[in-house]
Structure 1
Amino acid sequence: MRDQPGDLAVLHGDCANCFGLCCVALPFAASADFALDKDAGTPCPNLRDDHRCGIHARLRQQGFTGCTVYDCFGAGQKVSQRTFGGTDWRTGPREDARRMFDVFPVVRQLHELLWCLTEALTLSAARPVHPDLRRALERTEQLTLGTPEELAALDVAAHRQEVNVLLLRTSELARAGARGRGKQRRGADLIGARLKGADLRGANLRGAYLIAADLTGADLRGADLIGADLRDTDLTDADLTGAFFLTQPQLNAARGSAGTRLPGSVTRPVHWTAGV
């Protein structure tokens, strides 16, 4: 069971208060997800002068599916408005632009940790580690408020490792009473696996590769899905009630239906029912 959920609203991208950082700072390669190659620090050709996407309503049709599954967890507006005080990369000094692009991925990682820590604190079964989780949450938030120089020098991997110890313990506590807690699929290669109707209650699917797997009608209640690769995973009519550490980008990359049951921390992707 969960305690009263915390507010995760600030950990979603707010494009109106961002300078299109994901469209500039990040690189991508021509593939099924992107229609062209783009280097890091180079603006996407679809980015307008007002930092808005010129084909936002047609991204999937134009070959930019990768953009539709991405979420910065609120890092874009944090870097744009807090770290750099509202000075955008187009009008500010060139050095500020370079630093902004370097810092954005760092803050994005920290904000993803904030998402997981915030959700962990809603899990009543994890009460024994709530004090440690709160301290980690406060420490991670403080790190996001660092100067550009501090953020650029931050060893994010080391901090992630420290937080992951707590998230692992949280997972163990949350899944302890689940009937399927013995299903250890951590990091498993389940690409294209036929798991239709599978009983995966309380399963450990941390970092599992579920690309194009068939999970139609599967029972994933109370499963740990942190880092699971759900690209093109078929979640039609699956039950993910109570599944935790599932993020919106993971869900956006999957396929599902109106019958897919979801935890309250995420929303049903529009493309699941829009036919695109």
Structure 2
Amino acid sequence: MQADCASCFGLCCVALPFSRSADFAVNKPAGQPCSNLQQDFRCGIHAQLRDKGYPGCTVFDCFGAGQKVSQVTFGGTDWRQAPKTARSMFQVFPVMRQLHELLWYVTEALDLAPARPVHKELRKALAHIDGLTRGSAESVTELDVNALRGEVNTLLLKASELTRAQVPGRKKNHRGADLMGAKLSGADLRGASLRGALLVAADLSGADLRDADLIGADLRDADLRGADLTGALFLTQAQLNAAKGDAATVLPPALSRPAHW
């Protein structure tokens, strides 16, 4: 469930649209290759993306969906070799990414010992989603992903509640809260629910975020310098990449310190 760009046909650089903004230097419609995409499907400015005005690219994470679509769904035949497959391939990719994101969350939930009461249901969900990712292009694009996410989220919420219940003391509930630009430096948010919270440009420097549920939290430009994210639940690499941190930020072992920190 980690991106292997060498096994992908540059799908995130073609299938997805982006608009000229602080994240992207130009406009690009869905289905049109980025001008920086080379013939070998590698990015021509990969080492300079931020300097060239493409920080949005450094944040994106496909959770391994790119290689799944490229090597499994389409059997290793790229859209340049078989132009007739291009439209279908580009439609499958964003759906597959959502499925792989769910696989990431469910796999993490299965590693949470306190969530053992829902492990059986989580294992069933994992097998079901994995099976869906191996279906045909048509079956993938026809999926009702929103309905599936709703079903899986019920299990993830149970896993979160069971795990955070082990944290001593009263836990804060900021689920879905608008905390954009909030001053939370040094805040005690251990075991808190920050599911879907808007934390854009929030000051979380030195905050205690151990065992906090961060699924879906918007951490763009959030200050995580010196914050403790030990055991943070459902935190993704993409969320970290979008935030600001430093060498003192404590990360969960499954995630890497972004190069731009």
Q: What TM bracket, shorter-length normalisation?
A: over 0.9
- Deviation of 1:178 after TM superposition, in Å, equals 1.4
Indicate if the aligned counterparts of 1:19 and 1:51 stay in contact, CA closer than 8 A. Answer: yes
Q: Distance in 2 between matches of 1:12 and 1:108?
A: 11
Partner of 1:182: 171
Q: Quick check: 1:146 aligned with 2:96?
A: no
- Equivalence map 1:1-276=2 (5 Å): 11-94=1-84, 96-179=85-168, 181-272=170-261
Call closer, same or farther: CA 1:34–1:187 in 2, change over 3 Å. same
Quick check: 2:91–2:141 contact (8 Å CA) kept in 1?
yes
8 Å contact from structure 1 (residues 236, 260) kept in 2: yes
Q: How many residues align?
A: 261
Distance 2:170 2:128 in 1: 31
Alpha-carbon distance in 1 for matches of 2:72, 2:103: 17
Task: Give the Cα separation in 2 of the matches to 1:77 and 1:169.
Answer: 31
Mapped partners of 1:208, 1:180: distance in 2:
21
Runs of 4+ in 1 over 4 A off after TM superposition: none
| TM-superposed deviation, 1:182 | 2.8
Separation (CA, whole Å) in 1 of partners of 2:33 and 2:136? 24
C-alpha spacing 1:142/1:50, structure 2 compared with 1 (3 Å): same
Q: Which residue in the other structure is 1:7 paired with?
A: none
C-alpha distance in 1, partners of 2:178/2:99? 27
Equivalents in 2 of 1:177, 1:68: separation in Å?
Answer: 35
Counterpart secondary structure, 1:271: coil
* Correspondence for 1:6: none
Query: TM-score of the superposition, structure 2-length normalised?
Result: 0.99
Q: CA deviation at 1:250?
A: 0.4
Q: Name structure 1 gaps, 5 residues minimum.
A: 1-10
**Residue 171 of structure 2 contacts residue 190 of structure 2 at CA under 8 Å; is this kept in 1?**
no
- The AA in structure 2 aligned to 1:123 is L
Which SS does the other structure have where 2:218 is aligned?
A: coil
Percent of aligned pairs with the same amino acid: 68
Write the distance in 2 (CA, Å) between the matches of 1:166 and 1:97: 35
Aligned equivalents of 2:132 and 2:35: distance in 1?
33
> Which amino acid is the alignment partner of residue 59 of structure 1?
L
Determine the C-alpha separation between the residues in 2 that align with 1:161 and 1:111.
Answer: 15
Aligned equivalents of 2:222, 2:170: Cα separation in 1: 22
Q: CA deviation at 1:91?
A: 1.4
**Conservation of the 8 A alpha-carbon contact between 1:185 and 1:205:** yes
211 and 187 in structure 1: CA distance in 2 versus 1, 3 angstrom threshold: same
Deviation (angstroms), 1:181: 4.8
CA deviations 1:133-164 (Å, max 9, x no partner) are 00000000000001001011111111111100
